[in-house]
Amino acid sequence: MERSTLEHSGIQLEPNEDIITVVRRDLLIFFARLSFLIIGIFLPLFAIPFITPLIDQISNERGVTIFFVLYSFWFLILFLRFFYRWTDYHLDVWIVTNRRVFDIEQQRLFSRIISVFPLENIQDITVEMRGILATFFKFGNLHIHTAGDKQDLIIRHARHPMEVKEVLSRIQHEALEKK
């Protein structure tokens, strides 16, 4: 992620502050959520045998048009749902710099929460990987416990959380040694 992209998000990096890593949810989680949408695309097609008698009662020409309009409306709803899921996946990001951790959480399409956690406030980092898929594909939850009044940072379904923990620990150790 470039410095200009961060500045576009309203995040200003301090002088000599460098981006170390960018953490996102694992892509497998995104595709798992999309699988329901893909099933939803074909769901109305399985209803055709049950709808056909109703279409025949209305009239063949009108019935097909009504089905096509309803199916198009259904497809539009699913597409908007896909867009919402993709936006949520793409804009939820955690940025680790050599001084701070930024938590950018997209709540809704036009609602975003940005939290900043200085490295010196991090007290403990816990990795939670539950289940065979999480272990096999190396994704899990990363809990960053901080000092102060702010609530802890939880990165859910993070890609390679053990590596992120090691990077955070190393950077925090280096930052404390400089002081």
**Listed residue (8, 7, 1, 14) closest to 98, CA to CA:** 14
| Torsion angles phi and psi, residue 53, rounded to 5 | -60, -35
Q: What is the DSSP letter of 152?
A: P
d(CA 160, CA 139) in angstroms, rounded, equals 5
Length of the chain: 179
pLDDT tens digits, residue range 4-15?
556 656 778 888
pLDDT in tens, 37-72: 888 888 887 877 777 676 666 666 666 777 788 888
CATH of segment(s) 3-25+93-178 = 2.30.29.30
Residue range 153-169: mean pLDDT, rounded: 87
Q: Where are the domains of the chain?
A: 3-25+93-178, 32-87
The DSSP H or E segment spanning 10 is: none
